[in-house]
Amino acid sequence: MKYIENIIKNLRKKIKLYEYFYNVLNVSLVSDYEYDILLKKLLKLEKKFSEYDSDISPTKQIGNNFSEEFKLRNHILPMLSLESVYKISNFYNFYNFIKKKINNDNLKFCCELKIDGVALNVLYKDKLLVHALTRGNGYSGENVTSNISVIKNLPKKLLGKNVPKVLEVRGEVFILKSDFLNLNKNLHNNFKKSFSNTRNIVSGILRRKKKSYIFNEKLFFIVYGVGFVHPNNYFKSHYFMLNKLRSFGFNISKYNNFCKKKCNVISFFKRSLLMKNKIDFDIDGIVIKLDSINLQKKIGYTNKFPKWAIAIKFNTKNILTKILNINFKVGRTGIITPVAKLFPINFSGVIVKNVSLYNKDNIKKLKINIGSYVLVKRSGNVIPKIVKVIYNKNCKNLKKIFFPKICPCCKSNLVLNKNKKLYVCMNGVFCNSQKKKLILHFFSKNGFNVIGIGPKTIEMLINKKMINTPLDMFKLSKKKLFSIKHFKKKTFVNIFNKLKKIKNIYFYNFLYALGIPEIGISVSKNISKKFNSIEEFLCCIRNNNFNKIVNIGIVISKNIYNFFIINNNVKYVLELSKTIKIIF
């Protein structure tokens, strides 16, 4: 029997050593799988030979009740949120509010990065982890204790002497940006749906019902505060509390900053903004906390957030990524636009894979190459754009971007436009790419407004040589359409019926639908007010009176003039006007 006792003792020793390295030193000596096998072996032996069972066995000490369900548990103290503002100047209001409240101008702050992850509340009693709860509704959260092994640096047992008897530790669980990109790349390569942001992955992994070895050890935990502490007056300063927590075995952010002056806070914000794209985890702002815990208690709380802390959020997002390739797109009006294919990046849930480089001068000005690392900016819902190329040691094998001399679609020679910034394909509707976009534009909402005529349908009809102009769409017969193999009959019947229903159209929608450069719907409306028939409109252009009658800019009137001096265009417009009545 001594033999069994020794096996059990050795197993415990081994497991404890692995745990120490894993939980405290962040080093995995064995894989999760091997660790689990050892633990199960120990459990089995302890069950079988209960005389050797012990309360200090690792099978008892780690929240080892791997429950399948994530039951709600109460936080001892509620997990509050933070008041968020978007301008650093708001810090002065916050400062003055505290100064007035405590009648003291000698305020010290602990400034931290606001990590964009999932909040976790971990309870320790007598140094041992009791449970780990998500924030939930602030008062109770999901008990995810059974899943904490996926977090690389969450101690299950605290280190050091004089550790508070009861301690609720709060922090953020997150995943590295580089891991996120790799995971999504793998999912994409295996034709699986990728995650839209790092937070989704984290909460997905934390709430995983089945044990899995995928994505394990990808989660990190950084501590930013405490909840309930017994004894109550254990900590005096927030900044020093974080350092103390580090000595207990937690990871704290190396960017935490003790600020004795207002100007230190401002420069921390500025530094963080610059740092944001260099560090390998997502941050969405900074958190400024009054340092003295005694004063924190004096200032107090609303029922939503502490009045002694504030989050200053970054309102623009710059994300670092890499240019994988360049495509040249032919626009509706023949302008060739270079579009960079990016390593996908995530702006608060919006995945950006492509970004326009506008023109050759922009590429030159920013010194963009294929393979360059670039900062992409997106403020609110504005279209993302490249703001800067970042040089780093990975910038090898850069490939220069060469603008094509011929149209990537119809292969006709490109010409530089007047201001020599843009390359243009002059092949008009004879270029399939322009044709496709013109037809799409024609049936778009402000034009003929036919829902259901999408790029794929148009491309197919063009490829089958069934249409060349939007007018041809009205001439399509059911018989012709149904002769196409592999088509969805219902889609075509729908489109066919919709086209048949169009009997008339307002002139401004008609003019817009023609797709003349710079003629948007409001310009179109302005022009349409001056005319009573299509003949009157054409006559005015022919007599070169357009500028006198319609008060619009030279560029726009020139574009109109250039369109209508082409005989084929006039013929096309007149034929259209016979097919569909234009209302003036």
Q: Which residues are catalytic?
A: 114
DSSP state of 3: H
Residue 169 engages ligand IVH in binding (rule: CB under 6 A): no
Q: Using the rule CB under 6 A, which residue among 181, 309, 320, 513 binds ligand IVH?
A: 309
Residue 115 engages ligand IVH in binding (rule: CB under 6 A): yes
CB of 224 to ligand IVH, least distance (A): 4
Q: Which residues 6+ apart lie within 8 Å of 328 measured at CB?
A: 336, 337, 338, 339, 403, 404, 408
CB of 504 to ligand IVH, least distance (A): 55
Nearer CB in complex with ligand IVH: 53/284: 284
CB of 80 to ligand IVH, least distance (A): 4
Q: Pick the piece of the chain touching ligand IVH (CB under 6 A) from 114-122, 181-189, 451-459, 573-581.
A: 114-122
Q: What are phi and psi of 567, to 5 degrees?
A: -55, -40
CB of 311 to ligand IVH, least distance (A): 6
DSSP state of 286: E
Angle separating helix axes 554-564 and 567-579, nearest 10 degrees: 80
Residue 172 engages ligand IVH in binding (rule: CB under 6 A): yes
Element (H, E) at 530: none
Structure-token pair, residue 388 = 């800067």
Q: How far is CA 430 from CA 353, 417, 426, 560, 581, in A?
A: 30, 19, 9, 19, 27
Residue 168 engages ligand IVH in binding (rule: CB under 6 A): no
Q: Pick the piece of the chain touching ligand IVH (CB under 6 A) from 234-242, 305-313, 360-368, 475-483.
A: 305-313
Nearer CB in complex with ligand IVH: 164/306: 306
Q: Are 252 and 223 a contacting pair, CB within 8 Å? A: yes
Helical H runs in 276-426?
293-299, 360-366
Structure-token pair, residue 151 = 């977090």
Q: Using the rule CB under 6 A, which residue among 119, 342, 513, 514 binds ligand IVH?
A: 119
**Residue in the shown chain whose Cβ atom is closest to ligand IVH:** 119
State the number of binding residues for ligand IVH (CB under 6 A): 15
Amino acid at 450: V
Q: Are 550 and 529 a contacting pair, CB within 8 Å? A: no
Q: Pick the piece of the chain touching ligand IVH (CB under 6 A) from 40-48, 98-106, 108-116, 347-355.
A: 108-116
List, as own/partner pairs, every contact residues 297-301 make where C-beta atoms lie below 8 angstroms and the sequence separation is at least 24, other chains included: 298/101, 298/102, 299/98, 299/101, 299/102, 301/80
Residue 287 engages ligand IVH in binding (rule: CB under 6 A): yes
Query: SS3 string of 214-255?
Result: CCCCCEEEEEEEEEEEECCCCCCEHHHHHHHHHHCCCCCCCC
Residue 226 engages ligand IVH in binding (rule: CB under 6 A): no
Q: Using the rule CB under 6 A, which residue among 8, 35, 45, 112 binds ligand IVH?
A: 112
Residue 293 engages ligand IVH in binding (rule: CB under 6 A): no
Q: Pick the piece of the chain touching ligand IVH (CB under 6 A) from 109-117, 208-216, 272-280, 420-428.
A: 109-117
Nearer CB in complex with ligand IVH: 135/360: 135
Nearer CB in complex with ligand IVH: 82/169: 82
Q: Using the rule CB under 6 A, which residue among 15, 82, 440, 481 binds ligand IVH?
A: 82
Strands 316-330 and 336-347: antiparallel
517: region left, alpha or beta (phi > 0 left; psi from -120 to 50 alpha): beta
CB of 117 to ligand IVH, least distance (A): 7
Q: Using the rule CB under 6 A, which residue among 155, 164, 225, 344 binds ligand IVH?
A: 225
Amino acid at 147: N
Residue 282 engages ligand IVH in binding (rule: CB under 6 A): no
CB of 90 to ligand IVH, least distance (A): 15
Q: Using the rule CB under 6 A, which residue among 29, 77, 80, 390 binds ligand IVH?
A: 80
Rounded Cα distance, 223 and 113, in Å: 11
Q: Give residues 500-539 in contact with ligand IVH (rule: CB under 6 A).
A: none
Residue 311 engages ligand IVH in binding (rule: CB under 6 A): yes
Q: Using the rule CB under 6 A, which residue among 63, 136, 164, 306 binds ligand IVH?
A: 306
- Give which of 496, 537, 498 is closest to 516, Cα–Cα: 537
Q: Which residues 6+ apart lie within 8 Å of 515 measured at CB?
A: 332, 333, 437, 438, 441, 442
DSSP state of 512: H
Q: Using the rule CB under 6 A, which residue among 73, 114, 152, 276 binds ligand IVH?
A: 114
Q: Are 209 and 68 a contacting pair, CB within 8 Å? A: yes
CB of 83 to ligand IVH, least distance (A): 9
Nearer CB in complex with ligand IVH: 82/241: 82
CB of 135 to ligand IVH, least distance (A): 6
Binding residues for ligand IVH, rule: CB under 6 A, are: 80-82, 112, 114-115, 119, 135, 172, 224-225, 287, 306, 309, 311
